[in-house]
């Protein structure tokens, strides 16, 4: 493919938004009911684009690495998400304007107001503000904001604001509350003082069954369903480690204030990998295949310094220097990069940002986000977290299930271990049917916990306090031939909607000779439709050739679309440039005579002419990326239509 | 493919259940938390089977008929489902045992108790009860039921029970309540009298946003999302009619008492088509392609007579006799049949049952279910309803959106029409911003409603009562060049989980020489894995050939799996027979010498031997259904391994 010509990168977002709407890539759900913020429906073009991205994802990740795909439910019992920590911690901080009832997400408000003040300062000092960085929503809100004016700030304040913004994802709720006070941040619309921040849980809740007593949530991620099936998956994999599971499905987050189109929504498609690995050995046997890949890193220390400078280095260097913790994490960062590049993300507008310790999700011990640059700024599109043994451990502890790997040792291992001595009779009498799960929970205690319990003379587990006359912990020397461990989890997690939107932005440009004519330069592999069939006119002879050609393309599994409307041929092609259709076949009177067809390429608008069978073979190669358009053009020569 | 050999159809369900569990096709969700009834997770094999069924569905329906695929949200505002009728009518009838708090779904309870009594009668009269028809759940419950004994019934009662069971899906709530009394149906466990039936709405509810004020439901079907996008889709289709949209996605129903595995669940994958058609012309331009297809019908009159006799006839006959209302409905019944046959449903265990008027969903005006026979009895797997103009009309009326088709007429049409004469000034003053939508709602009133309003002298619309001094309706002669109409909708709606389970049952059999060895005879197109690669032993030379072969299969897009475990080769094949893998390639020492491979077919267990490139070409043809195994075997001759 030719791709977007150099120098056509800049565009105004409203122009792209218009194409997205007009060609129905997606639109607000429940539009005729006034729509609901944060919910979007995909039309035929968006749906096909999404399906192609997912298909490529499945091949690039699941098939390439023989991952075990699972499909688990969205409905999730409250108990599961209580255990995973989501009921207590999966929340954002909100603040209310008591006078109007308006609710703000605190970190977004702080960001917006401080950015506004910096902009005001720049205006006051005569620096031009970059338009591209500013979103529509912000522009709209800016109009409402009274306090933003061209006010000069002193150097120290300016630096403080900038440093605060660089760290904005890392503040706790109380810290955000302090920022509201310290920087006197109020409701921008009416200058009212805001309430101290409170937590708002982001999960949608419901009840299962007719009793109204069984509380459940819609899952906020697909990960938990994979963890809960760990034992079955390990068995399916013939107990071999390491292995990965993967899942593609909807997740739900009740955002306080959805914004920025597909970038912050309440229902979205995720694709997640959970790679289970030995905590003592996070090497990856295919690391060598990707180690030369050069990525653009933004490590946590740079951000803590209030900076955003990019560090370019190979994954190999990043891992061996210790900046990226281990090979498996490094392997996935490289694979994520290759995937994003394949679907059309501009690699110069992609960076890997490390989470700061304060911003990390409650389960993560290291995390890198693949961030893509768009007109909304840098957008987190893929998270790649090392969740350690967190999830498997908490679920095992809660349920007594053995979410562990048992590995035969080559040499026996001699260890000091705390062994529970159980008074079976009394223990069984006291706990009855719970006895088994309590015993499992004791087994699952960490060494530290067992040590403490032994010195306290009392075991506290799953809400039970167990005295030494029932269970005593004794330190014994154990010789084992089996090593038992809880795997760690490396999790690449993809927000498909955000990626899809970024692909749209990176593919969009306007014909330099006609800025009204937008083009979406999708690579053929993800383009919703691969080829447009255009009869030159409504003549019956021309139309009669369409069904046969369509059937041949269907047999080749090349998706095609007919445009036999009465619009001029140029207009029909322009319409399909906006749909990102990479190729077009024209059927004209010459076709009726000799069976030859013209094939047009979207980005160059150049054509070749050849016999049908040859055109189909060329198209098959082009669509599957086996040949480039420039080579095709060189081979057949450019054809200049005399008819069109 | 050879398929399941004749005479191997009978099996005990526990044996299949064991394979489903052991090979992790699917299993109860949240298993380690004690599981939740009606929720299931798909493991790798089930997930791939599901993906292949969906892929075939997409090709068979969406691509073959150029349907417009959309992907809409699960979260749905309460207002939308209030308008569609689901808030008021999408409910089942439940009854409670006050003494224990136990809740029963009334129609299921009546069914179970009456079937039990009939069984008791047969036992008393010495007729053997067929085991296949009885489900595990029923067997379990039967044990609990005290009142079922071998009691003889008189002829009249027996007939009454059987007639009642044939009509069981058609009773209203109060009628079910009368049946409880009339037949003295009580809680089978303790003989307690049950409360009168009350309605239980089957939708899961939640709230959107941080206020807690915005009520929403999880969609019970994907259809509404398609209807709401009708205007955008019509525009996308260049305003041409008829056309169809389609959607594949999760839906949710809060079943009172889920049962029968995948057959009645609370969260499930649906695939739905909404075919929009002119109410005056429900012909279909591809009807001729399918009209000779012979289907097995169970029309409503047969059921009203308390019978279940099947009527076999071609779709052409069924439509021309008026039994099936129109060509479009007939077209889809035939296409549904062809799809189900393609994925491996036994056509002799498939019937199309017409809904009785009393059982039809609130939106339907005619409906046929594709029912598949399984060990649970006849299961509704696909519904094919004519929803008439119901949905588009109610949403248009509620919102004022124009969900209509405008068609240029060849000859002008002269009609008597009720035209609203609006006192613009007063009307605008009274209704302000609502004026526009109220005007639209008046326009959207039916002829009957307008007639009534004109004679009453008052228009009642969207909760407003509008007096003649604001709007007067006048009957005028209108000459129009445009015909405006609300399309009717024909909806084929597929429950993928039920179909997937039926496919498992129809594919399952046991080797006659070894009843412990189950086989799933999936057709290659839907088999989770197409080919198993089996090195004869763990010898390094053999293993070194695997990656190259895997890569070649990947390039051909043939999904493969390696089994290099130390198990005997026969055991490895047996394991994969249970996974339904149709082909196996053995790599042995001959392969190292001359590059030849053996190819084994699952159902016959016969093998051929040829060079790698030839084996790959044959496999490509087999997997894509271009050649049958019997032809391959005839061409190459059976190879008898001397090594295995």
Nearest by CB to A254, from B44, B64, B208: name it. Answer: B208
pLDDT in tens, A166-217: 888 788 899 999 999 999 999 998 999 999 999 999 999 999 999 888 999 9
Note whether A208 contacts B266, CB cutoff 8 Å: yes
Task: Identify all chain A residues contacting B205, using CB atoms and an 8 Å cutoff.
Answer: 206
pLDDT in tens, A58-102: 999 999 999 999 999 999 999 999 999 999 989 999 999 999 888
Note whether A228 contacts B33, CB cutoff 8 Å: yes
Nearest by CB to B94, from A32, A77, A210: name it. Answer: A210
Quickly state the pLDDT bin for B413 (edges 50, 70, 90).
confident
Note whether A68 contacts B44, CB cutoff 8 Å: yes
Nearest by CB to B71, from A42, A74, A228: name it. Answer: A42
pLDDT in tens, A49-67: 999 999 999 999 999 999 9
Q: Which of A122-126, B112-116, B462-466 has the highest mean pLDDT?
A: B112-116
Using CB atoms within 10 A of its CB, is residue B295 exposed (0-12), middle (13-18) or buried (19+)? buried
- Rounded Cα gap, residues B431 and B465, in angstroms: 11
pLDDT tops 80 at residue B149: no
- Rounded Cα gap, residues B256 and B269, in angstroms: 19
pLDDT tops 90 at residue B557: no
Note whether B252 contacts A75, CB cutoff 8 Å: yes
Task: Identify all chain A residues contacting B216, using CB atoms and an 8 Å cutoff.
Answer: 36
- Rounded Cα gap, residues B44 and B55, in angstroms: 16
For A128, the token pair is 């031009």
Mutate which: A208, A224, A525, vs B, most B CBs within 10 A: A208
pLDDT in tens, A532-584: 999 998 899 999 999 999 999 988 889 999 998 888 888 999 999 999 999 99
The fraction of chain B above a pLDDT of 90, given in percent, is: 68
The number of beta carbons lying within 10 Å of the beta carbon of residue B74 is: 23
**Residue A611 DSSP SS3:** strand
pLDDT in tens, A289-344: 999 999 999 999 998 887 889 999 999 999 999 999 999 999 999 999 999 999 99
Note whether B70 contacts A41, CB cutoff 8 Å: yes
pLDDT tops 70 at residue B145: no
Closest CA–CA distance from residue B141 to any residue of chain A (Å): 20
pLDDT in tens, B607-631: 999 999 999 999 999 998 889 999 9
Average pLDDT over residues A342-358: 94
Note whether B79 contacts A236, CB cutoff 8 Å: no
pLDDT at residue A134, rounded to an integer:
43
Mutate which: A29, A63, A73, A286, vs B, most B CBs within 10 A: A73
Round the average pLDDT of chain A to a whole number and report it. 91
pLDDT in tens, A251-277: 999 999 898 899 999 999 999 999 999
Average pLDDT over residues B249-274: 95
Backbone angles phi, psi at B309, to 5 degrees: -65, 140
In chain B, whose CA is at the least distance from the CA of A201?
A: B210
pLDDT in tens, B559-602: 999 998 888 888 999 999 999 999 999 999 999 999 999 999 99
Task: Identify all chain B residues contacting A46, using CB atoms and an 8 Å cutoff.
Answer: 71
Note whether B254 contacts A210, CB cutoff 8 Å: yes
Task: Identify all chain A residues contacting B256, using CB atoms and an 8 Å cutoff.
Answer: 209-210
Note whether A44 contacts B236, CB cutoff 8 Å: yes
Cα–Cα nearest to B244, from B43, B411, B492: B492
Task: Identify all chain B residues contacting A564, using CB atoms and an 8 Å cutoff.
Answer: none
Nearest by CB to A33, from B29, B39, B79: name it. Answer: B79
**Distant-in-sequence contacts of B309-317, Cβ < 8 A, 24+ apart:** B310/B351, B315/B290, B315/B291, B316/B291, B316/B292
pLDDT tops 80 at residue A629: yes
pLDDT at residue A133, rounded to an integer:
42
The number of beta carbons lying within 10 Å of the beta carbon of residue B108 is: 18
Quickly state the pLDDT bin for B369 (edges 50, 70, 90).
very high
In chain B, whose CA is at the least distance from the CA of A48?
A: B69
Quickly state the pLDDT bin for B447 (edges 50, 70, 90).
confident
Nearest by CB to B210, from A205, A256, A565: name it. Answer: A256
Nearest by CB to B232, from A24, A79, A207: name it. Answer: A24
Note whether B36 contacts A208, CB cutoff 8 Å: yes
Task: Identify all chain A residues contacting B214, using CB atoms and an 8 Å cutoff.
Answer: 36
Note whether A72 contacts B267, CB cutoff 8 Å: no
Nearest by CB to A554, from B31, B63, B235: name it. Answer: B63
For A378, the token pair is 């840098």
Average pLDDT over residues B87-108: 91
pLDDT at residue B462, rounded to an integer:
81
pLDDT tops 80 at residue A3: no
pLDDT at residue A131, rounded to an integer:
44
pLDDT tops 60 at residue B323: yes
Note whether A41 contacts B401, CB cutoff 8 Å: no
- Give Cα A537 to chain centroid, integer Å: 45
Q: Domain locations in chain A?
A: 34-72+219-390+489-497, 91-201, 408-484, 529-636
Residue with the bigger pLDDT between B463 and A236: it is: A236
In chain B, whose CA is at the least distance from the CA of A553?
A: B63
pTM, full prediction: 0.87
Task: Identify all chain A residues contacting B218, using CB atoms and an 8 Å cutoff.
Answer: 206, 218
Average pLDDT over residues A513-539: 92
Longest dimension (CA), chain A: 99
Average pLDDT over residues B441-464: 86
For A56, the token pair is 């490529």
Nearest by CB to B73, from A32, A209, A267: name it. Answer: A267
ipTM of the complex: 0.87
Average pLDDT over residues B112-126: 89
- Give Cα A260 to chain centroid, integer Å: 15
> Does domain B529-636 match CATH 3.40.50.800?
yes
Nearest by CB to B206, from A50, A204, A401: name it. Answer: A204
- Rounded Cα gap, residues A420 and A430, in angstroms: 17
pLDDT at residue B2, rounded to an integer:
54
The fraction of chain A above a pLDDT of 70, given in percent, is: 95
Burial per residue of B563-573, b for 16 or more beta-carbon CB atoms within 10 angstroms, e otherwise: bbeeeebeebb
Least confident of A104-118, A425-439, B178-192: A425-439
Quickly state the pLDDT bin for A432 (edges 50, 70, 90).
confident
Q: Which CA distances in Å does B42 have to A60, A221, A275, B220?
A: 21, 17, 18, 21
End-to-end alpha carbon distance in chain B: 23
Average pLDDT over residues A34-43: 96
pLDDT at residue B75, rounded to an integer:
98
- Rounded Cα gap, residues A294 and A337, in angstroms: 9
Backbone angles phi, psi at A394, to 5 degrees: -65, -40
Cα–Cα nearest to A508, from A575, A580, A570: A580
Least confident of A543-552, B120-129, B228-237: B120-129
The fraction of chain B above a pLDDT of 70, given in percent, is: 95
Q: Which of A315-319, A404-408, B103-107, B197-201 has the highest mean pLDDT?
A: A315-319
Note whether B71 contacts A50, CB cutoff 8 Å: yes
pLDDT tops 50 at residue B143: no
Looking at domain A91-201, which of 3.10.129.10, 3.40.190.10, 2.40.10.220, 3.30.40.230 is its CATH number?
3.30.40.230
Note whether A236 contacts B29, CB cutoff 8 Å: no
- Rounded Cα gap, residues B26 and A345, in angstroms: 36
How many beta-carbon pairs below 8 A join chains A and B?
199
Note whether A48 contacts B69, CB cutoff 8 Å: yes
Note whether A73 contacts B267, CB cutoff 8 Å: yes
Is there a shared CATH topology between the B34-72+219-390+489-497 domain and the B529-636 domain? no
Mutate which: A25, A68, A209, A538, vs B, most B CBs within 10 A: A209
Quickly state the pLDDT bin for B448 (edges 50, 70, 90).
confident
Average pLDDT over residues B450-476: 87
Note whether A71 contacts B80, CB cutoff 8 Å: no
pLDDT at residue B487, rounded to an integer:
97
Nearest by CB to B73, from A41, A254, A561: name it. Answer: A41
pLDDT at residue A592, rounded to an integer:
94
Average pLDDT over residues B221-233: 97
Residue with the bigger pLDDT between A197 and A455: it is: A197
Least confident of B80-94, B358-372, B591-605: B358-372
Determine the CATH number of domain A34-72+219-390+489-497.
3.30.930.10
Nearest by CB to B32, from A41, A204, A228: name it. Answer: A228
Average pLDDT over residues B82-103: 91
pLDDT at residue B247, rounded to an integer:
98
Average pLDDT over residues A338-364: 90
Note whether B33 contacts A225, CB cutoff 8 Å: no
Mutate which: B210, B402, B555, vs A, most A CBs within 10 A: B210
Least confident of A499-503, B65-69, B484-488, B555-559: B555-559
Closest CA–CA distance from residue B168 to any residue of chain A (Å): 22
Mutate which: B58, B100, B198, B209, vs A, most A CBs within 10 A: B209
Task: Identify all chain A residues contacting B398, using CB atoms and an 8 Å cutoff.
Answer: 33
Note whether B207 contacts A209, CB cutoff 8 Å: no
Count of alpha carbons within 13 angstroms of residue B158, beta-carbon side: 11
pLDDT at residue A129, rounded to an integer:
53
Quickly state the pLDDT bin for A148 (edges 50, 70, 90).
low
In chain B, whose CA is at the least distance from the CA of A563?
A: B238
pLDDT at residue A5, rounded to an integer:
78
């Amino acid at each position: 493919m030719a791709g977007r010509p150099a120098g056509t990168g800049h565009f105004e977002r409203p122009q792209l938004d218009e194409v997205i709407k007009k060609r129905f890539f997606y639109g607000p759900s429940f539009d005729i009911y006034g729509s609901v913020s944060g919910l979007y429906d995909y039309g035929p073009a968006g749906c096909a684009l999404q399906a192609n991205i997912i298909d490529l994802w499945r091949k690039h990740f699941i098939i390439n690495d023989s991952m075990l795909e699972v499909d688990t439910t969205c409905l999730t019992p409250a108990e599961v998400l209580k255990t995973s920590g989501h009921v207590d911690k999966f929340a954002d901080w909100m603040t209310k304007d008591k006078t109007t009832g308006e609710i703000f997400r605190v970190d977004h408000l702080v960001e917006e107001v401080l950015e506004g003040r910096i902009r005001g300062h720049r205006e006051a000092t005569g620096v031009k503000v970059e338009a591209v960085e500013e979103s529509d929503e912000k522009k709209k809100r800016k109009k409402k904001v009274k306090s933003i004016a061209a006010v000069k700030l002193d150097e120290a304040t300016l630096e403080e604001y900038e440093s605060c913004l660089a760290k904005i994802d890392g503040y706790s709720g109380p810290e955000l509350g302090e920022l509201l006070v310290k920087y006197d941040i109020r409701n921008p619309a009416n200058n009212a003082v805001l309430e101290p921040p409170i937590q708002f849980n982001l999960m949608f809740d419901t009840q299962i069954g007719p009793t109204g007593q069984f509380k459940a949530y819609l899952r906020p991620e697909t990960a938990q369903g994979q963890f809960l099936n760990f034992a079955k998956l390990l068995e399916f994999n013939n107990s071999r480690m390491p292995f990965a599971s993967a899942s593609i499905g909807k997740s739900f987050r009740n955002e306080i204030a959805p914004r920025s189109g597909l970038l912050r929504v309440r229902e979205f498609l995720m694709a997640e990998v959970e790679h289970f690995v030995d905590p003592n050995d996070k090497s990856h046997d295919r690391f060598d295949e990707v180690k030369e890949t050069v990525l653009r890193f933004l490590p946590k220390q740079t951000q803590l310094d209030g900076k955003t400078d990019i560090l370019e280095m190979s994954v190999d260097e990043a891992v061996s220097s210790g900046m990226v913790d281990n090979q498996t994490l490094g392997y996935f960062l490289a694979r994520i990069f290759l995937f994003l590049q394949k679907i059309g993300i501009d690699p110069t507008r992609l960076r890997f940002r490390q989470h700061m310790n304060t911003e990390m999700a409650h389960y993560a011990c290291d995390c890198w986000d693949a961030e893509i640059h768009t007109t909304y700024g840098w957008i987190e599109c893929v998270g790649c977290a090392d969740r350690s043994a967190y999830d498997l451990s908490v679920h095992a502890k809660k349920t007594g299930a053995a979410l562990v790997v048992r590995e035969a040792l080559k040499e026996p291992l001699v260890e000091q271990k705390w062994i529970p001595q159980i008074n079976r009779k009394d223990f069984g009498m006291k706990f009855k049917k719970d006895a088994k799960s309590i015993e499992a929970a004791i087994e699952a205690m960490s060494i530290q916990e067992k040590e403490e319990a032994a010195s306290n003379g009392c075991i506290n587990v799953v809400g039970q306090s167990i005295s030494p006359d029932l269970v005593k912990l004794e330190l014994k020397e154990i010789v084992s031939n089996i090593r038992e461990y809880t795997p760690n989890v490396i999790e690449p997690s993809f927000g498909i909607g955000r990626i899809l939107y970024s692909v749209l932005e990176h593919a969009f440009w306007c014909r330099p000779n006609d800025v009204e004519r937008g083009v979406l330069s999708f690579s053929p592999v993800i383009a919703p439709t691969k080829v447009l069939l255009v009869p030159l006119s409504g003549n019956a002879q021309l139309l009669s050739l369409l069904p046969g050609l369509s059937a041949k393309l269907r047999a080749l599994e090349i998706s095609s679309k007919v445009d036999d409307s009465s619009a001029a041929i140029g207009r029909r092609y322009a319409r399909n440039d906006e749909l990102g259709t990479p190729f077009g076949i024209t059927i004209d009177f010459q076709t009726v005579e000799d069976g030859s067809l013209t094939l047009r390429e979207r980005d160059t608008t150049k054509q070749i002419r050849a016999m049908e069978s040859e055109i189909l073979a060329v198209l098959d190669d082009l669509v599957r990326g086996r040949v480039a358009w420039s080579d095709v053009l060189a081979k057949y020569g450019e054809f200049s239509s005399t008819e069109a």
